[in-house]
Amino acid sequence: MTDLESTPKEGTREIVLDVRTQDMEINMGPQHPSTHGVLRVVITADGEIITSARPYVGYIHRCAEKIAECVTYDQFVPYTDRYDYLAAMNNNLGYCLAVEKAAELEVPPRATWIRMICAELNRIGSHLIAFGTYGLDLGAFTPFLYGFREREWMMSLFEKICGARLTYSFMFPGGLANDAPEGWFDEVLRFCDVFDRKWREYDALLTRNKIFIERTRDVGVIPAEMAKAYGLTGPCLRGSGVRFDLRESAPYLFYDRVSFDVPVGQGEMGTVGDCWDRYFVRMAEMLQSTRIIRQCVELCLAETTPGEVMAKKPKTLKIPPTEVYVGVENPRGELGHYLVTDGKDKAFRLKIRGPSFCNLSIIPAILPGTMIADAVAIIGSIDIVLGEVDR
């Protein structure tokens, strides 16, 4: 085109459009299969690249901490089941330890060993859900079915000892609601033997799957210093290479009497602290749980007398004025109870530290700069339970 042809003809005018682009706002949730509960994440994206992410919580807030001020110490136990409903035994345990520390209750050794067995069984069951649902998040349906196969057996063991399969209310301040039934320990050992063999199927099915590795390695990397700065705990912290496990760092129950390893992320498939590392820490922890359970069963049968599972305590427990904090290593990290008493039969104040709530706080920091499809992989690798986030 010549200069003459490019010049506007007489009687016409040239218009220059000021074109501007704007990031698209996308709502993930609150009802979305990849959010693992009633979570809303507002994402802004420039094309396929996330520029910001903000989680909105509180959709199932139930005022658990306020309820603790209105019911007796024993009556609050069923409410603890509902924090992280995939780890109800661990929740029972954390609350009971706080009350027992404040009341200076001495729990019978048999109850302590059974508590450890139940806590580790529930850790396996929780991680099986994490394994199965993470596969679903990334398009693999079969792992979900495999995981539920062994989880069903775990829930059957809980049903035999306490009559419930999901929310147990089995541990109470001072001990347990009842002793283990006849043959229960033998079945627990059989479960551990079978589970160790089935774990190899999980490893072959998903962990070493090429597509799964491509979707998770070098994605959602959380450096160790960032993990500590945001208060991450559990597999989210250990996945970043930080060896911190309350069972080892600040032993409670009889964890100082059993041997186990603390798996940490090592960047085996990519960068230390990526989605694959967080996933594999959970997988490795399940094998350590069966190792702990075997030791607990052996020592419980060798050292304790059947039937002694509850401390001597008054029918209505009243605790003199004091304040205590107890943290336990739940499947998703440190579950803490800060209890303040005033001499009455119920808590003056109870503050709960939910690990899922703290772990979720890192979402706005690690999602920007990633692809929209990777957001599903990153949120799934954090493994949150919204009952614990909202409480």
Q: What is the pLDDT of residue 11?
A: 63
pLDDT in tens, 71-102: 999 999 999 999 999 999 999 999 999 999 99
Residue 22 in this model has a pLDDT that exceeds 90: no
User: What's the rounded mean pLDDT across residues 341-350?
Assistant: 96
pLDDT in tens, 368-381: 999 998 999 999 99
Q: What is the pLDDT of residue 3?
A: 52
As a CATH number, domain 24-390 is 1.10.645.10
Q: What is the pLDDT of residue 32?
A: 72
Contact 299, 101 (CB under 8 A): no
Residue 5 in this model has a pLDDT that exceeds 60: no
pLDDT confidence of 10, banded at 50, 70, 90? low
pLDDT confidence of 16, banded at 50, 70, 90? low
Q: What is the pLDDT of residue 12?
A: 63
- CA torsion angle for 231, 235, 238, 239 (degrees, to 10)? -110
- pTM > 0.75: yes
Q: What is the pLDDT of residue 7?
A: 60
What's the CA gap between 258 and 295, in Å, rounded? 7
Residue 347: CB partners within 8 Å, gap ≥ 6?
68, 69, 73, 76, 339, 340, 341
Q: What is the pLDDT of residue 76?
A: 96
pLDDT in tens, 194-245: 999 999 999 999 999 999 999 999 999 999 999 999 999 999 999 999 999 9
Contact 388, 66 (CB under 8 A): no
Q: What is the pLDDT of residue 120?
A: 97
What's the CA gap between 223 and 47, in Å, rounded? 27
Contact 391, 64 (CB under 8 A): yes
Q: What is the pLDDT of residue 64?
A: 93
Q: What is the pLDDT of residue 37?
A: 80
pLDDT in tens, 38-48: 899 999 999 89
Q: What percent of the chain has pLDDT over 90?
A: 83
pLDDT in tens, 300-327: 999 999 989 999 999 899 999 999 999 9
Q: Which residue(s) pair with 43 in the sheet?
A: 26, 53
Q: What is the pLDDT of residue 369?
A: 93
Residue 166 in this model has a pLDDT that exceeds 70: yes
Residue 267 in this model has a pLDDT that exceeds 80: yes
- Sequence spans of domains, the chain: 24-390
Count helices and strands (H / E) in the chain. Answer: 16, 8
pLDDT in tens, 110-129: 999 999 999 999 999 999 99
